[in-house]
């Protein structure tokens, strides 16, 4: 058994197959991938990695399994899946996942090729575990897969607390110990036991507060969009493909961007935090449906049209259209009066938080600082936006957010 000191959970005891998996190259690679990607441009201490998060998820999974009375072969498979759940992440975590998905059709939890062969597959088989079963658990399949990937999964319990700790933002400080103690299976469904509507609400509220403050902070979104654009251009080069990009770490990607003439300017901006600024910051209700539903090719055409009208280089315009607000935690299941009910049926907070999410949603158009006015007016015209409502003339008055000094 190995005991590891952790910044969140204090001491984590790692044993069995997990102890051997820790030293595989696939797991060690996660040391070089930051958990929050470009959020470090907003919160300088947000430098924690996917490796320590994976350890935290393993720790919470072990505690949950013990509480639920799950032992032996089933427990070993779940613990392996918990430790390996992020092994498929590409560089900068979720920041460029949409880019690689367009080329490969795979997200970070599509780990079958990593788990069923090579070093990880060899370790699992040597320990008597089924690699395919572990991969399926990572995807959330089956009764026990809900612990690894689901509305009440231990992944969410760890990253909310860990991200809050490393950013210094208090909103993600959930009572994960109570959440684990109240987990139970009813008819194969992972639920919170009777009397825990407020416990479920705490998870929902933490995620809702962390989103605008940390995960979708405007500076994090701008830097993410720049990294995404640079990665797209890198994939246009003949000597790299999306599969190779998925297996890079953060440093690999930044070096690759620096060494390529078509992306070196983006790499320099990211390295020196010389980021684009907001030319447009538009509310959900002001954005036409055609823009909200535009695919990647349509967005690229709009960017080119905006750049042409503003008389700037096409690389100087980035249109950032987030997905519509969603709240996966609202479907968490809670026992109420002896029956399983979804949280959204029992909590008056759900609708209020949904409304808040919609009000916080923003479409962004980003450009170099000296071009924001021209790009903003051109973008408002091409996107069919109300100019006065969409243009960012004074960002310190134009958006309600924390840490505006990081603009």
Looking at the domain assignment, is residue 105 inside a domain?
yes
Q: Domain check: are 151 and 10 in the same one?
A: yes
What is the predicted pLDDT for the residue at 248? Answer: 95
Region of 295 (left: φ > 0; alpha: ψ -120 to 50; beta: rest) is beta
Q: Domain check: are 152 and 291 in the same one?
A: no
What is the predicted pLDDT for the residue at 326? Answer: 85
Looking at the domain assignment, is residue 125 inside a domain?
yes
Looking at the domain assignment, is residue 48 inside a domain?
yes
Domain that holds residue 317: 276-324+361-407
Q: What percent of the chain has pLDDT over 70?
A: 95
Residue 392 pLDDT grade (very low, low, confident, very high; cuts 50, 70, 90): low
Residue 135 pLDDT grade (very low, low, confident, very high; cuts 50, 70, 90): very high
Residue 393 pLDDT grade (very low, low, confident, very high; cuts 50, 70, 90): low
Region of 101 (left: φ > 0; alpha: ψ -120 to 50; beta: rest) is alpha
Residue 394 pLDDT grade (very low, low, confident, very high; cuts 50, 70, 90): very low
What is the predicted pLDDT for the residue at 237? Answer: 87
Q: What integer is the mean pLDDT of 105-134?
A: 94
Q: Domain check: are 6 and 152 in the same one?
A: yes
What is the predicted pLDDT for the residue at 340? Answer: 94
What is the predicted pLDDT for the residue at 329? Answer: 82
What is the predicted pLDDT for the residue at 115? Answer: 94
Looking at the domain assignment, is residue 220 inside a domain?
no
What is the predicted pLDDT for the residue at 327? Answer: 83
Q: How far is CA 194 from CA 60, 188, 335, in A?
A: 21, 16, 5
Q: Domain check: are 38 and 161 in the same one?
A: yes
Higher pLDDT, 132 or 107: 132
Looking at the domain assignment, is residue 161 inside a domain?
yes
Q: Domain check: are 133 and 6 in the same one?
A: yes
The CATH number assigned to the domain holding 9 equals 1.10.3210.10
Tell me the per-residue pLDDT of 212-265, one tens digit each, with 9 for 90 and over.
999 999 999 999 999 999 999 999 988 889 999 999 999 999 999 999 999 999
Q: Whole-prediction pTM value? A: 0.92
End-of-domain residue from the set 168, 186, 220: 168
What is the predicted pLDDT for the residue at 102? Answer: 93
Q: What is the 3-state secondary structure of 167-207?
A: HCCHHHCCCHHHHHHCEEEECCEEEECCCCHHHHHHHHHHH
End-of-domain residue from the set 131, 148, 168: 168
Tell me the per-residue pLDDT of 282-339, one tens digit each, with 9 for 90 and over.
999 999 999 999 999 999 999 999 999 999 999 999 999 999 988 888 889 999 999 9
Structural domain total, the chain: 2
Looking at the domain assignment, is residue 57 inside a domain?
yes
Region of 306 (left: φ > 0; alpha: ψ -120 to 50; beta: rest) is alpha
Collect all residues with Cβ–Cβ distance below 8 Å to 297 and sequence separation of at least 6: none
Looking at the domain assignment, is residue 206 inside a domain?
no
Q: Are 226 and 92 in contact (CB under 8 A)?
A: no
What is the predicted pLDDT for the residue at 407? Answer: 44
What is the predicted pLDDT for the residue at 330? Answer: 86
Looking at the domain assignment, is residue 356 inside a domain?
no
Q: What integer is the mean pLDDT of 362-385?
A: 95
End-of-domain residue from the set 113, 137, 168: 168
Say how many CA atoms lie within 13 Å of 276 toward its Cβ.
Answer: 33
What is the predicted pLDDT for the residue at 64? Answer: 97
Q: How far is CA 215 from CA 30, 114, 219, 220, 275, in A?
A: 20, 28, 10, 7, 17
Q: Domain check: are 283 and 152 in the same one?
A: no
pLDDT at 63 over 80: yes
pLDDT at 137 over 50: yes
Mean pLDDT of the chain: 92
Q: What integer is the mean pLDDT of 190-215?
A: 93
What is the predicted pLDDT for the residue at 304? Answer: 97
Task: State whether residue 57 is helix, strand or coil.
Answer: helix
Q: Domain check: are 286 and 407 in the same one?
A: yes
To 10 degrees, what angle do helices 154-167 and 197-210 make? 50
Place of tokens 């999306």: 242
Q: Torsion angle of alpha carbons 233, 239, 243, 247, nearest 10°?
A: -90
Q: Torsion angle of alpha carbons 232, 236, 238, 241, nearest 10°?
A: 40
């Amino acid at each position: 058994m190995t005991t590891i000191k952790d910044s969140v959970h204090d001491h984590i005891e790692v044993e069995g197959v997990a102890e051997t998996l820790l030293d595989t190259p696939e797991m060690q690679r996660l040391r070089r991938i930051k958990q929050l990607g470009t959020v470090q441009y907003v919160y300088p201490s947000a430098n924690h990695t996917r490796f320590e998060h994976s350890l935290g998820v393993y720790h919470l999974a072990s505690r949950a399994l013990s509480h639920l009375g799950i032992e032996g072969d089933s427990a070993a498979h779940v613990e392996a899946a918990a430790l390996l759940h992020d092994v498929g992440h590409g560089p900068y975590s979720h920041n460029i996942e949409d880019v690689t998905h367009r080329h490969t059709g795979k997200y970070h939890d599509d780990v079958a090729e990593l788990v069923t062969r090579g070093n990880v597959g060899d370790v699992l088989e040597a320990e008597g575990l089924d690699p395919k079963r572990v991969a399926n658990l990572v995807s959330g399949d089956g009764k026990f897969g809900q612990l690894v990937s689901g509305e009440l999964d231990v992944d969410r319990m760890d990253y909310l607390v860990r991200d809050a700790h490393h950013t210094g933002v208090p909103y993600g400080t959930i009572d994960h110990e109570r959440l684990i103690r109240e987990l139970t299976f009813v008819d194969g469904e992972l639920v919170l036991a009777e009397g825990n509507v407020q416990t479920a609400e705490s998870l929902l509220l933490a995620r809702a507060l962390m989103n605008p403050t940390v995960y979708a902070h405007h500076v994090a979104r701008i830097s993410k969009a720049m990294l995404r654009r640079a990665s797209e251009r890198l994939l246009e080069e003949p000597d790299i493909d999306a599969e190779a990009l998925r297996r890079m770490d953060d440093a690999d990607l930044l070096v690759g961007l620096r060494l390529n003439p078509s992306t070196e300017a983006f790499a320099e901006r990211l390295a020196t935090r010389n980021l684009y600024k907001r030319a447009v910051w538009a509310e959900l209700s002001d954005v036409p449906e055609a823009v909200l539903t535009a695919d990647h090719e349509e967005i690229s055409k709009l960017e080119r049209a905006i750049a042409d009208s503003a008389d700037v280089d096409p690389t100087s315009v980035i249109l950032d259209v987030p997905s519509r607000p969603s709240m996966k935690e609202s479907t968490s299941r809670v026992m109420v009066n002896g029956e399983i009910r979804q949280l959204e049926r029992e909590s008056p907070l759900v609708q209020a938080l949904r409304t808040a999410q919609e009000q916080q949603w923003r479409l962004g158009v980003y450009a170099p600082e000296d071009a924001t006015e021209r790009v903003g007016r051109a973008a408002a015209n091409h996107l069919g936006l109300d100019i006065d409502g969409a243009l960012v003339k004074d960002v310190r008055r134009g958006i309600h957010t924390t840490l505006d000094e990081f603009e």
